[in-house]
Amino acid sequence: MAQRKRNLLIDEDSLGVARYLGVLENVNIIKIGDPGAPPLQSEDEDVAKYAKVHDSVVITRDDKLVKQCKVLDLDVITFGIDDLARRVIQILGGSKEKNVDLSKGVKLNQ
């Protein structure tokens, strides 16, 4: 049985990630600003409503949009500066842990 194609709505703050997602099968990539999608600079509530109507998973770095998605019980993928910091610590700090604790800071070997 074939998997159903999922809609992935990429918020305007994350548009660059779309170029890396073309390898995904069974995914329909929709970007804010695309024809038929919400226009650039849309209100977060409008973006979330569009995602709900079109059964889309949302990718964003916008905390306010994440909250709107949660209100509507939408799947949302978010990433921020803390995710970047964890990755830098993992690579440069030699940490093998996936869940790096950022609360104390980490001194990198110099």
- At 10-59, the pLDDT tens digits run 999 999 888 888 888 889 999 999 999 999 999 999 999 999 999 999 99
Q: What is the pLDDT of residues 53-67, one digit of tens each?
A: 999 999 999 999 999
The residue segments making up the domain with residue 105 are 80-110
pTM score, two decimals?
Answer: 0.75
Q: Residue 27: CB partners within 8 Å, gap ≥ 6?
A: 5, 6, 7, 8, 21
Task: Please check whether residue 83 is in contact with residue 100, taking contact to mean a CB–CB distance below 8 angstroms.
Answer: no
Number of domains making up the chain: 2
Task: Please check whether residue 77 is in contact with residue 93, taking contact to mean a CB–CB distance below 8 angstroms.
Answer: no
Nearest to 74 by CA among 25, 6, 23: 6
Say whether both 25 and 70 belong to one domain. yes
Please provide residue 76's backbone torsions phi and psi, each rounded to the nearest 5 degrees: -140, 135
Say whether both 55 and 67 belong to one domain. yes
